Structure 1
Amino acid sequence: MNKKILEILNPITDEEKAILDGAEHINRNLYYSDEKSSTPDDEIDSSRVLQDGKLIDMRPHVRFIHFPLHTHNYVEFIYMCQGETTHIIDGQRIVLKEGDLLFMNQHARQEILPAGENDIAVNFMILPEFFDTAFSMLEKNESPLRDFLVSCLTKKNADGNFLYFKVSDIPQIQNIMENMIWNMIGTDSTDYQNVNQVTIGLLFLNLLKHTESIGVSRTSYDQEIMFKLLRYIDTDYRDASLTSFSNSVSEDPYVLSRIIKKNTGSTFKELLQSKRLNKAQELLKNTNISIADISVMVGYDNTSFFHRLFRRNFGCSPRDFRLNS
C-alpha cells in the first residue's frame, strides 16, 4: 500500500478519540436513524453514511472497539490496507489480511472485533443503483460466471451474502484499489462519481479473471460448486459435459443439476450452449475463421446443427451475423 495513503488514513479520528477517552460503545448517531433502537441486527442507514445524494462513499474503518451485530441497507465492501481485521459474517469468522477484499450484500449480518492502531481498512458504502453503470462495462464479457458474481454481490443468496477475495498478490487489483482510494480522499469534484463507476467496472473486470481467489462461506456449498462449474464452462466449453464435471467434484449429476437450476434458473446444457454460441459470435465478428471451423472450435462437430441452433437463438444465420457485424 502506498505510504502516503497510509499516512492520510492512519490518524486517529474524532470518533476514535472518543473511544480512547473511554466511550464503551460506538456512536450510534453516526450509523443508525433510530439511536434508541438496539435490536440484534440493527440496520445501518445509508442516509447516515452516504450524504449529499452520493451513490458511493468511503470512510476508514473505526478501530479500538467492537462493532456490534448489524445489517445495512446498501452494498458494502472493505479493503484491507494494512494489518488485519476480524469479521463475523452470518456466523462465520473471516480474518482479512492486507490486500484482501470483502464484499457484503444488503442481507449480510456482520459484527467486527476491535482493531489496533496499525490495522487500517477502508469501508466503501454503495447504493445498488451505483452498479447500473459499473456493470454495464462488463456487457462485452457477458457470461454466466459474470452474472452469478454480480448476483452474489448485489442480491440475496440463500447460501451466502458475502464474498471475499484473497488478491494481495495480484498487482492489477491492488493498483485499482489504490487509485480508487486516491480518487475518494478529499475529492469534492462533481466528476468523482463517474470516475468511481468506471474504476469499479475495471475492478470487476479484473476480479472475473481471478475467480480462483474468491473465498466463500464454509456453509455455502452451492456457491463453491457454482464458481467451479462456471469457471469450468468458461475455460473448457469445447469439450465440457456434466458427467465430466461431476466426476471432477465427486458429486452426483442429479444433485448438480438441482444446484445449477436453483442458482441460475438454467440447466447445465443451457449454460454450456450460451457460452458456446457467445464465443461463436465473438469469433464470427472478430476473425476470418470459416464458419465450419468455428462450429468445431466451440464444440459442435455437426455444422448443420450449429447453423440451426445459431439461427434459433439469434434469428439469423452465422453468415448473416458476420456480414452485419
Structure 2
Amino acid sequence: MRKELLDELMIISEEEKKYKSGQSTVEQSLYAKDNLTEIDRKRLLQRGKLITVRPHSRFVDFPEHRHNYVEMMYVVQGSITHYIEGKELVLRKGDVLMLNQHVSHAIKRAEYEDIGINFIALPEFFEVPLTMLHEKNVLADFVIGAMRQKNPVSHYLLFRLKEDLQVENLMENMIESMLHTHCNEDIANQYTMGLVFLYLLNHLENLSHNSSLDYKETVVQAVMEYINSDCQNANLTKIAEDTHQSMTVLSKLIKQKTGYKFQELLQRRRFQKAVYLLMETELTVEDIALEVGYENQSYFYRQFQKRYGMTPAKYRKLHKKDKRIPI
C-alpha cells in the first residue's frame, strides 16, 4: 500500500485516544443508540450512500455484536483477532473476512501497528458485483444470503490471501476513493468489488472458513458423485464448467480434500467398476475396458496388471467365486 495512504490510516483518531488513555469500553454513542449488541448502520453510513470504509478502532476490545449491514474487513498490516461461534480467527495482512448481518462476533484489542479496514455496505451495494459472478458459487451464495429477508442464516467467509498485490491494489483504490470523496464512487466501487470477487473465485484454495457450509467439501462431493455416476466419460473440464471453477483451482481443491489428483480418483473408480463387471457379468475384457472408459486396450491391460498383479482374465478366474471387490 502507498506510504501516504498507510500513514493516513495509522493516525490515532479522537475515539482511539480515549481508549489509549484508559477508557476500557467502546464508545457506544458512535455505534448504536441503546446498546452494542447490534451496531447501527445509521451511525456509520451517510444517508444515500451504499458503502463506506472505516479503519477498525484500536486499543479496545469490542464485545460480541452483530450489524444491520454487511461488513467486510481487509487487514492492511499486523493482525486482527475475531471470535465467531466459539472460533478464534486471527486475520493477518492481506486476509479478507466477509460477514453478513446475522453473524455475531467479538474482536480482540488491536494495537497501533494493527490496521484493519471495515467496508460497511448495504446489501443492495452487492447487486452489481452479483451480476459479474456465475449463477452458483460461494460468493454468489453469500450475496444472495445477505439479501434474503426470509429464513436468514449466519454466514461468513474468510479468505487467507497473504500479501496479494492484485487484491491489495483493488482494495487500495476503494479505500482511497471513499476516504477522499470522488465522483460516482459508489458505482465505481461496485465494479471494483466485482473484480475482487472474481479474483477470489479463482483462489478458492485460500477460502479458510465458511460458517454455514464448507464450499470446498460441496465442490469435491460433486466431483466424487460425477465420477461415480459416469466414470466412462468423466473429465475435469466438464466438472470445472459445472461447478464454475477454473481447472487449476478445482485440481487444487480435489488434491487438498482427498489427497489424490482427479485422474487418480477417476482411475480408482474405473478399476472398481472393471472388477465388478469381471465378476458379475460375462462381458469380454475388451468390452469391459470400453465400458469403464478405456479405448486403448493395451493401456487398460497394463494398468490392470500393475494394480492387481495379474491379467483381467486371470483375476476373473481366481475371484469369480468369492466375489471379492478390492478398492
TM-score by length of 2: 0.64
Cα–Cα, structure 1 residues 73 and 20, in superposed 2: closer, same or farther, change >3 Å? same
CA distance in 2, matches of 1:10, 1:248: 38
Q: 1:170 aligns with which of 154, 164, 168?
A: 164
Residue in 1 that maps onto 2:32: 32
Residue in 1 that maps onto 2:232: none
Cα–Cα, structure 1 residues 238 and 106, in superposed 2: closer, same or farther, change >3 Å? same
Residue in 1 that maps onto 2:217: 225
Larger radius of gyration: 2
Which deviations, in whole Å up to 9, do the C-alpha atoms of 1:251-285 show, x marking residues without a partner? xxxxxxxxxxxxxxxxxxxxxxxxxxxxxxxxxxx
Which deviations, in whole Å up to 9, do the C-alpha atoms of 1:148-178 show, x marking residues without a partner? 35346665775x5211111124322122111
Cα–Cα, structure 1 residues 196 and 221, in superposed 2: closer, same or farther, change >3 Å? closer
Cα–Cα, structure 1 residues 149 and 26, in superposed 2: closer, same or farther, change >3 Å? closer
Residue in 2 that maps onto 1:67: 62
Residue in 1 that maps onto 2:184: 191
Q: CA deviation at 1:72?
A: 0.3
- Asked if 1:117 corresponds to 2:109, the answer is no
Sequence identity, in percent? 38
Cα–Cα, structure 1 residues 248 and 10, in superposed 2: closer, same or farther, change >3 Å? closer
- Asked if 1:130 corresponds to 2:125, the answer is yes
Q: CA deviation at 1:202?
A: 0.8
Tell me if structure 2 keeps the 8 A contact 1:63–1:115.
Answer: yes
| Secondary structure in structure 2 of the residue aligned to 1:216 | strand
Q: CA deviation at 1:194?
A: 1.0
Q: CA deviation at 1:22?
A: 2.2
CA distance in 1, matches of 2:239, 2:212: 28
CA distance in 1, matches of 2:239, 2:201: 22
Cα–Cα, structure 1 residues 228 and 214, in superposed 2: closer, same or farther, change >3 Å? farther
Q: CA deviation at 1:109?
A: 0.6
| Secondary structure in structure 2 of the residue aligned to 1:52 | coil
- Asked if 1:7 corresponds to 2:7, the answer is yes
Q: CA deviation at 1:220?
A: 5.5
Tell me if structure 2 keeps the 8 A contact 1:153–1:162.
Answer: no
CA distance in 1, matches of 2:190, 2:29: 29
- Asked if 1:103 corresponds to 2:95, the answer is no
Residue in 2 that maps onto 1:179: 173
How many residue pairs were aligned?
236
TM-score by length of 1: 0.65
Q: CA deviation at 1:203?
A: 0.7
Residue in 1 that maps onto 2:193: 200
1:210 is matched by which residue type in structure 2?
A: H
Cα–Cα, structure 1 residues 95 and 145, in superposed 2: closer, same or farther, change >3 Å? closer
Gaps of 5+ in 1: 251-325
Which deviations, in whole Å up to 9, do the C-alpha atoms of 1:71-96 show, x marking residues without a partner? 00110000000100111012211000
Tell me if structure 1 keeps the 8 A contact 2:124–2:147.
Answer: no
Q: 1:209 aligns with which of 176, 181, 202?
A: 202
Gaps of 5+ in 2: 227-234, 243-252, 259-327
Residue in 2 that maps onto 1:52: 47
> For 1:300-315, what aligned pairs fall within 5 Å after superposition?
none
Cα–Cα, structure 1 residues 157 and 91, in superposed 2: closer, same or farther, change >3 Å? farther
Residue in 1 that maps onto 2:236: 236
Tell me if structure 2 keeps the 8 A contact 1:106–1:154.
Answer: no
Q: CA deviation at 1:236?
A: 2.4
Q: 1:81 aligns with which of 72, 76, 80?
A: 76
CA RMSD of superposed structures (Å): 3.0
Tell me if structure 1 keeps the 8 A contact 2:52–2:178.
Answer: yes
Residue in 1 that maps onto 2:140: 147
CA distance in 1, matches of 2:161, 2:217: 20
CA distance in 2, matches of 1:17, 1:236: 56
CA distance in 2, matches of 1:28, 1:15: 11
Tell me if structure 2 keeps the 8 A contact 1:65–1:115.
Answer: yes
Cα–Cα, structure 1 residues 145 and 222, in superposed 2: closer, same or farther, change >3 Å? closer
